[in-house]
Amino acid sequence: MSTCPIQKIVKRDGNLVDYDRDRIATAIFKAAASVGGSDRATAEKLALEVEQKLVQAYGARATPSVEEIQDIVEAILIHEGHVKTARAYIIYRHQRAQARASRAYTFETSDNIPYKKIYEVLRWNMDHGCETVDGLNKIVADGKLPDLVAACEKRYSDEVARGAEAMLARLPEMRLVIIAGPSSSGKTTTTIKASERLKAAGVELVAINLDHYFFDLEMHPKDEFGDYDYETPQALDLPLINEHLAALLAGKTIKTPHYDFKTGKRKLDVHEMSLKPNQILMIDSLHGLYGEMTKSIEPNRKFKLYIETLGQVRTADGTFMRWADNRLLRRMIRDSWHRNLQPLQTLTHWHYVRRSEMKNIVPYIGTVDYLVNSAQPFELPILRHKLFKFFPEALKLYKDDSKRQDAYLRAKRVHEFFTPLTAVTDDSVVPSKSLIREFIGGSEYHY
């Protein structure tokens, strides 16, 4: 067992396991052997370099994910000139992912999503000609982007409507709806649209904004970069949340806090809130599935809806845009006008977001009652126009910065995906009630 200060890693299902450098060396050695290599010592040397890069990039006490480790393995192999081994490693990694995804009644490889759902998304994209970058480019060139936008909006709205019907079927026992999902998946817009559907049935959803339950920023721990971590559930006042949830469902009146993201301060007892008999409490939160978040409420009184950008758009070489990268792009825009952060600040902070998701969200996806896909293929050409300019700068800034390799690798992936994609400069085709407006602005909804 390695004596590296990294003690644990996060598996794809969110579970923590012991870190073992030898497993990295073995994976590299197998890749090398598949192309004629036979030097175990070189594999062990490269594994040590991977380990050192992990410590440099994430810190001595970090808990990297399998995905992050494999990204660095690929980068080290290429950097050290082991091109054939790198190619074999990448192919093997892809084949393993496909094998996991194709097993019946199991989950998709990276984020615990049922494979059947992902296949439905891919089939929908294929039916609408938007499963590839080339396909999107053709849609833009042919002037058919408005048609794609309309189709995407209808698909998403229909999914939310079916979720609302599932909620109604659980009444009157159910009193708390949880809309959960990773950062920038579209939880707030989904909350609003589900509310609209239920209101037509005489049921009013009352959302409690958990962003107001953040502790003062000065109470958050800092890392070696001096960054604060908003992404852990422990950044929220969980005891106060549970106290208020139980009180509301018991018919009592509460006063929620108010948190100011610009000052990093909260005030207690600010917003008065109560529930009427025809009202159901709703939570839209990054950590809505986290058990400690709602432990004061009995399971049969909760309905859990999960939302994720299950995008299935690939480049000419078959590389799919990662769901987390899609959400990163959304958040880079939103942070710039909502949290006063520059896009590259969001990029360098993203590894905290992703690690928290793997630890505090992914393990609980199997408990949800309903799943919504928020990915909109038409958003990619629009995001390309708004954000592409930042990625060459990121590649230059972080390529040789040992502590920013996560940001470099993400920037490289997005840059390579965006390069052949046609940018759309005019977003007026996007409806004012579109989920994408939550991120690019111009929404009819108030966030």
Residue written as tokens 């890693």? Answer: 9
Greatest CA separation for the chain: 71
Q: Which residues pair with 265 in a beta bridge?
A: 260
Q: At CA 413, angle to CA 407 and CA 416, rounded to 5?
A: 135
Q: DSSP 3-state assignment of 199?
A: helix
**Which region, left, alpha or beta, applies to residue 318 given φ > 0 means left and ψ of -120 to 50 means alpha?**
left
Q: Give CA–CA dist 445/439, Å, rounded.
A: 12
Torsion angles phi and psi, residue 186, rounded to 5: 105, 30
pLDDT on residue 45: 93
Q: Alpha-carbon distance 326 to 137, whole Å?
A: 18
Identify which of 201, 200, 178, 202 has the alpha carbon closest to the alpha carbon of residue 190.
178
Q: Where are the beta strands (DSSP E) in 25-175?
A: none
Q: In the structure encoding, which two tokens stand for residue 20, read together?
A: 């073992």
Q: What tokens were used for 22?
A: 């030898």
Q: Which of 264, 209, 188, 229 is nearest to 439 (CA)?
A: 188
If phi > 0 it is left, if psi is from -120 to 50 it is alpha, else beta; for residue 269 that is left
End-to-end CA distance of the chain: 49
User: 331 near 339, Cβ under 8 Å?
Assistant: no
Q: CATH 3.40.50.300 in the chain, residues? A: 115-440
C-alpha–C-alpha distance, residues 253 and 207, integer Å: 14
Helix (H) or strand (E) holding 109: none
For residue 172, whether the previous peptide bond is cis, meaning omega lies within 30 degrees of 0, is yes
Length of the chain as a residue count: 447
Cβ(72)–Cβ(322) below 8 Å: no
Task: Mention every residue, 6+ apart, whose C-beta is less than 8 A from residue 446.
Answer: none
Integer angstrom CA distances of residue 333 from 184, 189, 339, 414, 425:
10, 16, 10, 15, 15
Residue 47: partners with Cβ closer than 8 Å, 6 or more residues away: 21, 22, 24, 25, 28
Asked whether the bond before 114 is cis by omega within 30 degrees of 0, the reply is no
DSSP string, 46-107: HHHHHHHHHHHHH-TT---BHHHHHHHHHHHHHHTT-HHHHHHHHHHHHHHHHHHHHSTT-B
DSSP code, position 166:
H
Q: What is the pLDDT of residue 371?
A: 94
* pLDDT tens-digit profile, the chain (447 residues): 446 778 888 776 666 788 889 889 988 988 888 888 888 899 999 999 999 988 888 877 778 888 889 889 988 999 899 988 888 887 777 676 655 544 433 323 346 677 778 888 988 999 999 999 999 999 999 999 999 999 999 999 999 999 999 999 999 999 999 999 999 999 999 989 999 999 999 999 998 999 899 999 887 656 556 666 666 788 899 999 999 999 999 999 999 999 998 898 999 999 999 999 999 999 988 888 998 999 999 999 999 999 999 999 999 888 889 999 999 999 999 988 776 679 999 999 998 888 888 888 888 888 899 999 999 999 999 999 999 999 999 999 998 887 888 899 999 999 999 999 999 999 999 999 999 999 999 999 987
Task: State in words which class domain 115-440 has.
Answer: alpha beta
What was the pLDDT predicted at 2?
Answer: 45
Tell me the Cα Rg of the chain: 22
